[in-house]
Structure 1
Amino acid sequence: MGKVRAAAERRHRLRDAPLRVSFVLYMVVTAIAATIVCAIAVNWMDETRIGIYYKYRTMAEEIPVAEGGHVEYSYTDDAEVYVIYDARGVEIGRGSVPYGEGMLTSDVGVLLIMPEYSPEDEALDQLLRALQALAIPLSYLGGIILCAVIFYRRKLKRPIEILDAASRKIAENDLGFTVEVPCGNELGRLCASFEKMRASLLALNREHWAQMEERRRLNAAFAHDLRTPLTVLRGRVSLLEAELPPGSEASADAKVMQTHIERLVRYADAMSSLQRMEDVEVRRERVALPELAGSLRDTAEILFSGREVNVSCGEGEAFVDAEVVMQVCGNILSNSARYARTRVDIELRATGGALRVAVTDDGGGFTKEGLEKAAAPFYKGEGSGSGHLGLGLNICDILCRRHNGRLVLENVQHGARVTAVFG
């Protein structure tokens, strides 16, 4: 049992070893393996070439060479010439072998005239000779490549996949997972750091959502509790205004009070409306773009009475909640109608599974502050008027996000453009 535990501990230590130590170990093992493979391959090729040589050696013609003598070779245009000398340097014989009919070589005490290799054996011999020359670089290059592949698969691949998947989920704001820590080396510690970051982000998100939910409850409670006293005040002021002499200072004060009470009532209703927008449920259905375009044209012609209305749309359908689309576009058109001078252009396009509705007017465009804050709640730009609460574009932004889309504000050459994207 102790041996098993010790072996397991050794495996864990190797798995958790620093990457630089692991890399050195892999390279050392690779070098040893490459050396062994190279030696085996070279030895096998050498033995094969020797076998081919002895195959033809047995068929060779042997010419004795006297002890102490030697052979000299020369070449002519059509043959290889040999001259045999004795120990005193006196020529004792000569001959020639035409090219293609044999080859000269020597062994102990003899001159060999060997037959030519067959084309197959010649090709094999040349191939083995070339491979012997390349054996060392090929063995070590192959070893390095194999080492890199194994090192990546065993040490890098899994942590990188874990970190890549975690990064994608965090980018998508999906924090309901756990980052696996596959080892104890540098990449394992990086995975552990990712897990700590994910847990911290999840805690912050939960805290943020709790705060948002608490704020929504407070807003709803505020709007509900404010409505009753405002209703009482509105009724009392109406009675008071009816009893006061017309044109008196008290009657004028009562009218001012009535105006401000009505404004507070609208504010309370707006708070309730925002709460309902946050909870709206999207019910998708297939809607033809020309049908949507016709409904928007009808709305725009009422809001932009006396001004030019242009509507363009592509063919096809969109898979959207038509009521949400019409509510968003109605608010955008209502907002645009306050600023447009002579015309408004409405464009509908269904691309990439999303519906885009762009409303462009020839008003003065957004200010720099307006581009940043126009979709914020209760923001009122120049020329909004006292009766405007500044919630129209904020409601559009909320509904677009509920529909997996977004609201885009921008200035164009002669005015402003608001684009609602429904995903």
Structure 2
Amino acid sequence: MKEKLKRAAIVGIGTTAKPGNIHPYKTWKDLVADAAYEAIGDAKGLKPRDIDGGVIAYHGEGVNEQGGIGGSVADLLGIAPAPVFPHSMNCSGSAVALNTGWEMIASGKYKRVLVMGFEKEGDNINYTENINISFDTEYDYMFGFRHRDGFELMSNYYMKHYGYEDYTSYAAMSYAAHTYGRMNPKASVYGKPMPEFESLKNANSCFSMMGEGAAAAILVPEEDAYLYTDKPVFIEGISLACTSHYIAHRVGEPPMGPDFPEGLKKEETYGQSVALIAAARDAYDMAGITAKDIDVAQVYDLTAGSFWFLDGLGITKFGEGGRYFIEGKAMLDGGAVPINTDGGNIARGHASGADGLNQVIEDVVQLRGDAGERQVKDAKVGVAACVGSAFAHMTVVVLTNDKFKRKEA
């Protein structure tokens, strides 16, 4: 176990409703301001001028053409001359921004940090083409691979290698997401009719509901947490791990190279993400937990993505992620770790630059005990795991509330 590092507390959260929809009457600045000011308002007594640093994430400059975005955000929110550091790391960007925000707090230089992420696809006529150029453009993409292709190749391999004969696992995952989404007032499917289970037995049932939105969180040092909230949530462990975009690291030959996690047999993790396993180990070690301590988890859901997330996080054995959904274990009454309790990208909605923070925000809501009918009973430890591109960069965040008792070495 690593030496315990300084914790940051999340004391305010904000997120756009229905991120699986286009918001034609709002600019990206409107979306960011909505989420940021909701988060600031959620932190008791905090004013915009109290923010002394920020981080902003978006999918990439192929989606939002403005590169020098930090100054625009500082001016927009009225926090200038506080610095705002930009990130563009595909769907995992806002979780990477959270990592930077934690580092800012841990350094001691910053006391009140605003972390944000957004997506505004409607600004781009060729959005789908732009968002898919997120492999190694000079290699994979020029050979016809987009990152969506990578997900589907990995999913097809997973399903075949681990003996899934049909799309029942996809249906179970999608049905769980839609069930949770209908309990979440901010989800894109909230208030809509529930689909029939049989109608979901196809490869398309697990595609993300793509749209626009923003998310934001306020971080402060743990010793200041109760100045701003009665229900602080702490970043107990956080990690970013990276590996090549090269698709053969995931499909075809087993993962190769010095980055392969120690103690795992390549044939046992064939088709798994090296970066996911490494990030999970690092975050768990930092937090002093194991997978058995997790009470609720949010994972990136696209095709079979949730399955290998559960495997890589240690919630299931390798190859069992799909069966976890079939057996109903992802549900509140499943007797195991509930998964994607806000509906995930499938039902909450997918706003690329905000995905990582949307996961974290749902865990915060759960750990505060504010999730209403989708509340996980007595939740103390939440995990959020997000992906950038086709598992080239992985983020894992371990969140706890004040009921959590760390197991010291």
What TM-score do the two structures reach when normalised by structure 2?
A: 0.22
Higher relative contact order (CA 8 A, sep 6+): 2
Q: Which protein has the bigger helix share?
A: 1
